[in-house]
Structure 1
Amino acid sequence: MHSRGAVCDARANLPSSLPNLETLSVYSYCEAVSTPMVGSKFPFLKHLTVKLAAAAAAAAAPDYDYCSLISFFDASPSLETFFLNAFLGSMHHPSILGDPSGRRQMPEHRYDKLKNVTIVGFSSAKTLVELTCHILDSSKSLEFLTLDATQGYDYLRCSVNRSGKCFPVSRDVILEGRRGLLAIKKYIKGNVPPKVKFTIVEPCSQCHVVEL
């Protein structure tokens, strides 16, 4: 599914039209409205991918709540894998760093089958950090958690690029990736259970070096 507002539309409309869906990939190039909390279910959904295009992230309203994606988890009792690409667009959202209110405590849920979660374009966006913490609190079956504070394209990294250099990105993107790492260390790393294989992908320490 690929369209403007695709995430919101998928949650609101697909359960009734495709009730037996097992795999769902949603690509949105403009997602300004938070995902609705509705009662409909994806009873058989096992694999969910949500990608927000770079343009969508830049155009998204700063008050877009990544925690609204919890609506998909609540609707999908069979969900096993979740992949989110925020394309570092969440640098337009309020940062949790320096926020005196700290993170919100979400109502307790149980995602009994969720095993593998990957978030690419991880940043210090408050609601993105809160979503990650909620997943950790609610997913006792979790086996793998990957938080990637880059744009997620391995073939653009110096280790595999013929030029020997990473693909250039803006200073703002590098800075937000670094802030994302600080948020991981402060709010997430200490809450990851020992049994979970936790992977952090950092910006290149040779090609993408800037001062915070």
Structure 2
Amino acid sequence: MLLQRDRQRRRWQIRDPSIVVKILKLELDGISCRCLDSWLRIAVKPGIEVFTLMPRDELECLLSNALALEKLILDGCKEIIYLKIPCVLQKLSYLSVFGCERLQAIDSKAPNLSSLFLTGKPLELSLGDTMQMKNLAMFRQNVVCYARAKLSSTMPNLETLILRSDEEVVNTPMLPTKFIYLKHLTIRLVSGLTFSPSYDYFSLVSFLDASPSLETLYLDVCQPYMKHESVFGDFTHLRQIPEHSHFYLKSVKIIGFSSAKGLVELACYIIKNAVSLECLTLDTLYGSRCYGETDTTCEPASDGFLMEAPPRAVTAIRTYIEDKVPPTVKLTVLEPCTRCHARAEC
């Protein structure tokens, strides 16, 4: 619905009282912030459950008066440079910001913010009391190192953490700080032009040691061309670190598993130390799979990749991992799909 002039107010009258509007999308074009309150009084009626507002620019006057706001999503707001969320938003628990290219800082005083989703370049974060933060997703460069170095001390009560990095050049550091309550960890590393081939996947052990309550680990390594040191290199010796039992880790899935030495060492560490592990899935492809569904397809892969990477990954699993898996753990090794990647069998 497009509101532009005062004379359009009459159009908001609902003639049939039996009709209850639950979803309202309000797009404002040419409306000043001074008029916003009057427009909302006209448009927002009892019974509305989902309200999408698309303003031209400033949100300050809206946020200052939306006392019942529980979920705020900013998508593609290219004019916003500084986002300030006042403390009066007592009910705000979810904030999602993506596609805001010019955004430089977020200053939130909302006391009950517990879920945060951020994409884009690094920005200045001031979130007030971060002890309430339970769920966090961040997509940015070098976010894995940042999360381990900063978040375990500033957001110690996280339960779900999702990280995606298109550029990870620094190994994950080993630190004494802990994610005491973290249960679900997802890390996606995309091998782009700036992804360092010297990055050590084995350094991700730092997250495991810092997360004593971890139950699920999902690692997605998207690398069409494996440039890391192979486990089949000359004089290969698998590294080991002091044993540290993980009592709650039950499910581990690694997508894009290859013969990279660090990945093999990480899998061996998990098998040895995750005493409650129930299932370990090693997928030798990267990206999405069809899983046998006829209306979907696996992510395309070059013939060169299919003929080289998956066979070497399977050999690495059989050589270094398979015989270490205890009988109580279900090991699933996924090879190229026979329907989508039939040429991989040639």
TM-score (norm 1): 0.89
Contact 1:52 1:86 in 2 (8 A): yes
Greater relative contact order structure (CA < 8 Å, 6+ sep): 1
Aligned to 2:326: 193
> CA-to-partner distance for each residue in 1:41-97, whole Å, 9 max, x for gaps?
100001100001242xx5322221111111111111101110100113571101112
**Match of 1:48, as an amino acid?**
L
Q: Percent identity?
A: 47
**Match of 1:23, as an amino acid?**
T
- What is the CA–CA distance in structure 2 between the aligned matches of 1:5 and 1:34, rounded to whole Å? 9
Extract structure 1 runs of 4+ deviating beyond 4 A.
none
Contact 2:239 2:265 in 1 (8 A): yes
Deviation of residue 107 (structure 1)? 2.1
Aligned to 1:116: 251
- Equivalent residue in structure 2 for 1:125, among 257, 260, 267: 260
- What is the CA–CA distance in structure 1 between the aligned matches of 2:239 and 2:262, rounded to whole Å? 9
Where does 1:77-156 land on structure 2 (aligned, <5 Å)?
77-88=212-223, 91-155=226-290
- Is 2:303 the counterpart of 1:168? no
Aligned to 1:21: 158
Aligned to 2:142: 5
Deviation of residue 162 (structure 1)? 4.7
Sort the Cα spacing of 1:90 and 1:77 in 2 relative to 1 into closer, same or farther, 3 A: farther
> CA-to-partner distance for each residue in 1:141-193, whole Å, 9 max, x for gaps?
101100000124123x6x43559x75531234322122111101110011111
Higher fraction of helix: 1
- What is the CA–CA distance in structure 1 between the aligned matches of 2:247 and 2:186, rounded to whole Å? 19
CA RMSD of aligned residues (A): 2.0
- What is the CA–CA distance in structure 1 between the aligned matches of 2:225 and 2:152, rounded to whole Å? 28
Aligned to 2:103: none
- What is the CA–CA distance in structure 2 between the aligned matches of 1:167 and 1:134, rounded to whole Å? 29
- Is 2:198 the counterpart of 1:66? no
For structure 2, which runs of at least 5 residues remain unmatched after alignment? 1-137
- What is the CA–CA distance in structure 1 between the aligned matches of 2:320 and 2:217, rounded to whole Å? 20
Higher fraction of strand: 2
Deviation of residue 101 (structure 1)? 2.4
Sort the Cα spacing of 1:53 and 1:99 in 2 relative to 1 into closer, same or farther, 3 A: same
Aligned to 1:35: 172
For structure 1, which runs of at least 5 residues remain unmatched after alignment? none
Find the structure with the greater CA-based Rg.
Answer: 2
